[in-house]
Amino acid sequence: MKCTKCAAPAAINMRQHRLALCGDHYVEWFRAQTERAVSKHRMFSREERVLVAVSGGKDSLALWDVLLHLGYQADALYIDLGIDDGIRYSDRSLTHIHRFLAGRPEANLQVVDIEQVCGASIPDASRLTRRGRSKPCSVCGLVKRHVMNRVARDGGYDVVVTGHNLDDEAAVLFGNTLRWQLGYLSRQAPVLPASSQGLARKAKPFHRFYERETAAYALVRGIDYMYDECPYSVGATSLRHKAVLNELERQAPATKLQFYLGFLRAREEGAFEGLDAARPDLSACLECGQPTTAGQRCAFCRMWEQVNARKGRLGEPARAENSR
């Protein structure tokens, strides 16, 4: 197959776009589409400071690479969760990020080690809490959201961006639609604005890219990324939803894109208007200062109180600090 633009051998064929491109033209197209998404949804400007949440995987490293190339003030945050599980998952992820940094002296990275800051790794916190024993991923998600918001606030960043792609967004949308979780549906968007209560603006510049498209960009650009999935993701509901959507996509290319874009159009036409008004008011946690709907102390601080109490009963050294 040949490149649609120059007739050179194509590096990728995108059936949903009816477009085949060589490596050079694909990189050009990919960056232009990212810029278009940032501009269309008014995610951020070149005058604003951007914090990229990186994991060492293809999506987040590709996003950081694109934003740096386009001239945005993009620093990165890596949250070291302390996940080992026999494959040194967290250590290997950070190694890939350092390899990315080696050829980009202009790039700045901040690392937050959860075990050092909070006193326990995510696997240990999951083991020591009721929340974690039933749903380890919920502990991870709670911690990452808290840390990203804190680092953005303390570091003076205007927006936090993540590498969520179309496959991710369509799977979340599919799951929330199956259960008709209107609150979650009303808040799913390419951009979540900052709140007056202290929640940072969040944006997803890759929301229209298929996963294979971000992988192709990383490969063409020579980005060495972490291939392995998190060991705790095995059996996750989102993976089952992705499998269903992949089969639909196989039979009818562009199904995922049409599903997600149709949802965005419905949002723009007011399908979920008024739902945000029903959300409870936020207030500052008395312990860490982060926004919370849980009364005087946020879920993050209450969870680490459980972790420390459990560690104390087991004879392990407890940690009184949190991530302030």
Tally of CB atoms within 10 A around 147: 21
Q: Which amino acid is at 197?
A: Q
Please choose, from the candidates 214, 162, 168, 203, the residue with its C-alpha nearest in 3D space to the C-alpha of residue 30.
214
Per-residue pLDDT tens for 157-213? 999 999 999 999 999 999 999 999 998 999 999 999 998 678 899 999 999 999 999
Which pLDDT value is given to residue 195?
82
Could you write out the three-class secondary structure of 44-100? CCCCCEEEEECCCCHHHHHHHHHHHHCCCEEEEEEEECCCCCCCCHHHHHHHHHHHH
Query: What is the token pair recorded at 112?
Result: 């937050």
Per-residue pLDDT tens for 47-106? 999 999 999 999 999 999 999 999 999 999 999 999 987 678 999 999 999 999 998 888
Residues whose CB is less than 8 angstroms from the CB of residue 124 and which lie 6 or more positions away in sequence, other chains included: 82, 115, 307
DSSP lists the bridge partners of residue 49 as 73
Instruction: Give domain status of residue 5, yes or no.
Output: no
What CATH code is carried by the domain that includes residue 106? 3.40.50.620
Instruction: Give domain status of residue 267, yes or no.
Output: yes
Instruction: Give domain status of residue 316, yes or no.
Output: no
Statement: residue 241 has pLDDT above 80: yes
**What percent of the chain lies above the pLDDT cut of 90?**
68
Per-residue pLDDT tens for 212-225? 999 999 999 999 99
Please choose, from the candidates 323, 287, 282, 285, the residue with its C-alpha nearest in 3D space to the C-alpha of residue 148.
323
Residue 322 pLDDT class (50, 70, 90 cuts): very low
> How much helix, strand and coil, in percent to the nearest 5, is found in the chain?
50, 10, 40
Per-residue pLDDT tens for 115-150? 999 889 999 898 888 765 667 788 999 999 999 999
Instruction: Give domain status of residue 245, yes or no.
Output: yes
Which pLDDT value is given to residue 295?
65
Instruction: Give domain status of residue 200, yes or no.
Output: yes
Please name the residue that has the structure tokens 């407890």: 318
Q: Is the pTM of this model over 0.85?
A: yes
Residue 323 pLDDT class (50, 70, 90 cuts): very low
Instruction: Give domain status of residue 4, yes or no.
Output: no
- How many structural domains comprise the chain? 1
Instruction: Give domain status of residue 57, yes or no.
Output: yes
Range of the domain at 246: 43-279
Which pLDDT value is given to residue 318?
44
From residue 306, alpha-carbon distances to 145, 216, 301, 319 in Å are: 19, 43, 9, 11
Instruction: Give domain status of residue 292, yes or no.
Output: no
What is the length of the chain? 324
Tally of CB atoms within 10 A around 269: 9
